Amino acid sequence: MDRGQRRQAAETRRPIAGRAIRTDIAGSDSVLVDLIAAGFEASATAVVLFAPDDTLAFASSAFAELYDVQPDARTFADVMRHCHAAGKGPKFSTHIDAWLLLAAAKRRSAPHRAFEIDMADGRWFWASETSYAGGWILLVVTDITVLKSNERMLQMARDAAEIAAGTDSLTGLPNRRQAMAAFAEAIALADKTATPLSLVLIDLDHFKAINDRFGHKAGDDVLCHFAETGKRLLRKSDLLARIGGEEFMLLMPHAARHDALRATERLRMQLSLRPQIEGLDLTYTMSAGIADYAGETPENLFQKADRALYGAKSRGRDCVDVAD
C-alpha cells in the first residue's frame, strides 16, 4: 500500500464509539506507533492524541466510547460540542463556547497537567494531559469513581466524627467543647462588627432531687425535654449547649441584654406551664444568669454570667438575673 492509499484508509477510520480511531500521524506508519496503539487498545485505556491544530490524530476505543465520538468529528471542539449537546462526556457548567474558551486557555499551558473530570453519567475520571514540542497533546483518562466514592465515605465519616466529638449524645445539643469554641468565635465577631452579644448560663433547679425521686431515666427525659423546648423557642442564630450535668449555656449573637432577658424569660415561663413529658407527672424550673459583652475576655464574660446565675439561685431559683 503506497502513502496515498494509507492516507485514504486512515481518513475512513473516523471517530466511531467503541472503535479505535487513528489518522496518519506525521506521515508515519512505523511499527512502534502501531505497537503503542495496539497496547492502548489491549489495555482498554481511554487515550486520545490531538495534533497541533487540535485535529483528532488518534483515539482509543475506550475514549471514543466514553466521549461518544462521532464519525464526523475532526477536532477537539467537535468532540466537546457533541458531548455538550448530547449530555455525554464531562459535565458542563457553562455554555459550550465559554467552556471551550476556558479549555483553550488551559490546554498546552504546561508540559503536564493532571485534573479530575466529573462525568455526566455520574462517574469520576482522572485526566493526565501531556503537551509535546510542536503542540501535540496526549490525554489519558482513568476511571476513579470507586476512589471518589471511598473518598466521599471517608469525608462523611470524618464529618460524623467531628459532629459526634462536639455533640452531647443525650440531648443532641452542642457539648462544652463545641460551645466554648463557638463562644470564642462569637466574641471575635462581635469585636469585628461592633454588634451586641449576650451570654446566658442556665441551671435546671433541684435536678438531683428529680433523679433521686424519679430515677435517672426521668432525669434524662427532663434534660431532653428542656433541650427540645429551647430549640423550639429560641432563634436559629442562638446556640444552646449542654456544658455540664444540668448546666446549659445559651449564646445569643446580635442580642443586647434586654433581648436576652426577654428570650430567657419566655423559656423560663414555658417550663412553668407544666411540661408534658411522656410517662412522668412532674414539673421542673430553671434559673439563669445573663451577661452582655462589653469588651472583656471570654473568661471574664463567663464569670459575669456565672455570678448572675448564682444571684438567681440565691433569690430562690426559678428566676433570671442580669449582671451589672
Secondary structure (3-state) at 141:
strand
CA dihedral sign, ordered 309, 311, 314, 316: negative
Using CA atoms of 68, 143, 54, 99 in order, give the dihedral in degrees to the nearest 10: 80
Listed in sequence order, the DSSP H helices in 44-133 are 61-66, 76-86, 96-106
246, 247, 265, 296: which one is catalytic?
Answer: 246
Secondary structure (3-state) at 195:
coil
- CA angle, 17 then 21 then 27, to 5°: 170
Q: Which grid coordinates belong to 177? A: 467543647
Q: Which of 68, 73, 60, 71 is nearest to 140 (CA)?
A: 60
Whether 187 contacts 197, CB under 8 Å: yes
296 is catalytic: no
Active site residues: 246
